[in-house]
Amino acid sequence: MELPLAWPLQPMLAKAAKAVPKQPEEGDAEWSYEPKWDGFRSIIFRDRDEVVLGSRGGKDLARYFPELVDAVRRELPDRIVVDGEIVVPREIDGRTRLDWDALSERIHPADSRVKMLAEKTPSMFVGFDLLALGSTDMTGEPFRSRRAQLLESVVGGTQCQVTSATDDAATAEDWFERFEGAGLDGVVAKKLDGLYLPNKREMIKIKHARTADCALVGYRVHKSGKGIGSLLLGLYDGDQLRMIGGASAFTDKRRVELLDELAPLRVGEDVVSDAQANRWTSNKDRSWVPLRIERVVEVAYDQMEGERLRHAARFLRWRPDRDPLSCTYEQLEVPVRYDVADVIAGGY
């Protein structure tokens, strides 16, 4: 490739904040706000027929998304470097929203499955920053200029889109609440005069953060074979207990402690495999150990996808004061149903 920027390139990063930053009371706007897309971060490099879908970890994702490579050749300028997210939009409950499970399943070693999923769950690229165009390195230009050029260069395609953006903080706060129903998980703020600085946390991200009390259903053994890898969580829908996902990220010491702590709750010595609990790939061992439904655990989570957690939750504390039967869906905030098309610049 003969582009002004070379692959691999580390993306510019964001630091977390609790609230959308305000614009200055006087003078020009300082911030640009956009919805935070929850997909695979990717910097696309295109030099005519050569296309690289660069991941944050420096890998080329092109073999997993052949339909997106074709779309890049079809819809983007001949020579371009653009930062964005690879997502999989699907119609869910009558609206198009992001499907994290379908996106995760696209990373598969078998070529036949990659081809099948490319047709069954086609991906889309949502661009939010232009890094190079033709022979021009844009990273030294202010974001307001990069954004304007991005809109001119990319808008108009089908699978390659540009995210919506605004300089109005009130609109950004509204997006933070409304767009979650489309599968997005917050808002990103960027300095309008800011340069593109790879691997620097120069942006601000505001993400959804919530807690829920869940019934402890069981656990999975850690992949090392020592201790508990994840606690399996459930919520009641009427009289029916539904598995919603897991809570993980324990230390080695805590995993072993939990195994001893929960041993008295084991239902016999059975280890079962439950397809309902499988959020990832079918070739993984998803066996789990059921427990008597007696304990309640409070967890932190970002958002729901249908009846399940979109990502793994974080263990906060046990709730001995709660009855598992009181752990229902009614305690959750239900996001507004929103369509991905409403989050794209100009729709699609």
Q: Which residues pair with 332 in a beta bridge?
A: none
Q: Is 190 tagged catalytic?
A: no
- Residues in contact with 258: Cβ distance below 8 Å, sequence separation at least 6, in sequence order: 219, 227, 228, 231, 250
DSSP tag of 227: S
**By the 8 A CB rule, do 163 and 343 touch?**
yes
Q: How far apart are CA 318 and CA 296, in angstroms?
A: 6
- Residues in contact with 338: Cβ distance below 8 Å, sequence separation at least 6, in sequence order: 95, 97, 178, 179, 180, 181, 182
Smallest CA-to-CA distance from 289 within 281, 277, 303, 304 is with 277
Smallest CA-to-CA distance from 11 within 63, 53, 47, 69 is with 53
Hey, what are 229's tokens? Answer: 């890898």
Q: How far apart are CA 41 and CA 33, in angstroms?
A: 18
Choose, from 15, 18, 22, 36, the residue flagged as catalytic.
36
How far is the CA of 335 from the CAs of 59, 202, 302, in angstroms? 34, 29, 12
Kindly list the catalytic residues: 36
